[in-house]
Structure 1
């Protein structure tokens, strides 16, 4: 009897480019500004990217535009999600009846905690004018900086699957 061994390896294609964007504006405003500068038509998807982290449901808004002429897809997604968590008070003390809350921030890609947004670009062509895109994004008034992230630095690539 022959024994067949199947090895399942996590194979997420590296055929995308990821641009990190530092900007303190709301997601709809940064999507609008990117649309204006890059002549895109990013629209918010009907379904957000949902995860369950530490008994809390977190939701990251996603904006998407697909350029069928160039076979290119753009996804803008927020990296941060904030929610309120109830903190139990000590049983003995002056403020036992007071309920306190703390703000907890979760990250889509925890290895990039200082990044506010990611622009994921998937293209069937190998040539994407990244320098022009990044310089145009950096010219937006409220954007602090934008730069390309090397795919080898991304530890949680499975969080970037939006389909």
Structure 2
């Protein structure tokens, strides 16, 4: 009797470049700065990146620009989301329960907690000029620092699938 062996490969692998950005601006302001200084045309998607974790609805703003001339798509996504978690507990009194609210910070990529934004670049070409882009980003006054991240080092790269 013949034995067959199935080899399952991870087909969800997508070749992309990733730039981490430290900046204290809001997401819409960050997209505006990139549009102004790096000549992108980032627009906010109609649907943000949504997750449900531990009973909390977590939403990360997502901006996208598809450069059809260079066959490249840029995604700007916030790494931090602050949400309010409500906790109810019995007070032992006559009038029922007391409620307390707590602000919880969740991260898209938890291993990079100090990063505020990620710029994901998907290109049809083998190489994209990431070094030049990082230099342009570091020249923007509002950006504290920007650096390239190796996608293979990101453990939670499934969170970077935006389709």
Native 8 Å contact 1:18 1:148 kept in 2? yes
Which residue in 1 is equivalent to 2:27?
27
Which residue in 1 is equivalent to 2:75?
75
Which residue in 2 is equivalent to 1:99?
99
Deviation of residue 140 (structure 1)? 1.2
Larger % of strand: which?
2
Q: Does 1:142 align with 2:142?
A: yes
In the TM superposition, structure 1's runs of 4+ consecutive aligned residues that sit over 4 Å from their partners are: 1-5
- TM normalised by structure 1 equals 0.89
Which string of whole-angstrom CA distances, capped at 9 and with x for unpartnered residues, describes residues 139-158 of structure 1?
11111100000112111111
Distance change >3 Å, CA 9–CA 56, structure 1 → 2: farther
Native 8 Å contact 1:73 1:122 kept in 2? yes
Instruction: Quote the Cα distance in structure 1 between the aligned partners of 2:13 and 2:84.
Output: 35
Instruction: Quote the Cα distance in structure 1 between the aligned partners of 2:17 and 2:145.
Output: 17
Deviation of residue 56 (structure 1)? 1.3
Which residue in 2 is equivalent to 1:128?
128
Native 8 Å contact 1:12 1:157 kept in 2? no
Native 8 Å contact 2:65 2:75 kept in 1? yes
Unmatched tracts of structure 1, length 5 or more: none
Q: 1:40-119 maps to which residues of 2 (within 5 A)?
A: 40-89=40-89, 91=91, 98-119=98-119
Deviation of residue 89 (structure 1)? 4.5
Query: What secondary structure is seen at the aligned counterpart in 2 of 1:64?
Result: strand
Q: RMSD in angstroms over aligned alpha carbons?
A: 2.0
Query: What secondary structure is seen at the aligned counterpart in 1 of 2:136?
Result: helix
Unmatched tracts of structure 2, length 5 or more: none
Query: What secondary structure is seen at the aligned counterpart in 2 of 1:30?
Result: helix
